[in-house]
Structure 1
Amino acid sequence: MKIAVIGAHGKAGNLIAQNAIKRGHDVTAIVRKKHNDNFKTTIEKDLMDLDKEDLKGFDAVVNAVSAWTEDTFYIHTDGISHLAQLLEGTDTKLLMVGGAGTLYINKEHSLQLIDKPDFPEEIKPLGRTLRANLERLRSFSNLRWTYVSPAYELDFEGPATSNYIIGGEEFFTNDEGKSYISYLDFAEAFVDIIENDYVRQRVSVIGA
């Protein structure tokens, strides 16, 4: 598959790109500024400056861009709208690295993890932005999107175990009652999701 990874220098983006390369996929890194890395092909552009020609011919485009401050949150919402305009009506899949806060905690899907009283106050603004991000994705009727939520605890120092569960829209835990996954396992699961048909779905991943 031909895969573009936007934000390929970030924690999740880099590991997703490297995992895809190991599996034999043709990966293009899309980054704001080139670093010394092993990517065969790199596009040096801001997400909002990408055009249709940049994304032409890819089987999948991964949006792994991080934005942690309120003045950059627009990249999660306006960025999705921009990518949708470029990819609507094409066969290219758009996959978004999302957040755990948008997972539903009731069967009616009226409450999300971010709505719990004990959800950390300091990350609620980001959680609300990612909720808007998911809602915006759902609004495009002719876009082959997938939104991937990691476990609540996403550990950059954790090991690769290749032992994980791909779930749906509702928050769940493993047999030990934990919502945990390492970045390495998340990246591996993410490439599984790219390779399979999860189009127009939100899925979640936890360590087994």
Structure 2
Amino acid sequence: MVSPVLNEHFYTGAFLVREANGYLSRDKGELVNETSADISFEAGLVLSDVSTVIPDFVVGGSNTGNGTIGSITVAAGTKPSNYEIAFTDATNYTVSGPDGSQLGVGVAGTALDVGGLSFTVSAGTTAFVAGDTFTIVVVPGGPKQYVPYTGAAAAAAVLFDRVYVEAETARHVAVVLRLAEVNEQELCWDPAVTSAANVATLQSEALNQLAVAGIVAR
């Protein structure tokens, strides 16, 4: 009699070397299965954040110019936060990120693509002056959504437990996304990564991106 082949799955949280007290390292989200097949995702799977966001803007309270901003497009992976626009004269302005660093410069009436934001500041009937400001506010559009990391978007979290997700649906999951040490050998990767010719590069980039998020592989 031939013995059956048994496949052992990755255990819940087995990839963790250390995490913060309580549940500080973990958070809730949705794991999205974008394929046409049902999939069982293993604990330790490296994930990308593909959450949707909603942009809006606030006009500076002491603006002289009465121009405005048209529709704002936000690229995938753009950090939800406040982005500051400050005019340096009647037509030119700078754009600063959440940390205060300058992301780029723009000109009123000309479309600008910078820091994951695409928009046009339009002049009004009263010209802008130096010191006029706008704040672009980017907020989450719902619960955080994750997909397996493939290199298309930055790695951002690690799946805490094994979960079965039906085709083209999503399931609520727990993820590790901050303040943690993980065992690199216990991490799981999407087949799009493991079968890629540049698999080592993709995995290295992912580990570096996780480290920036506070998840350090040992």
**Alignment TM class, shorter chain as reference:** under 0.3
Q: Highest CA radius of gyration, 1 or 2?
A: 2
TM-score of the pair, normalised by structure 2: 0.21
> When you count strand as a share of all residues, which structure comes out higher?
2
TM-score of the pair, normalised by structure 1: 0.21
> When you count helix as a share of all residues, which structure comes out higher?
1
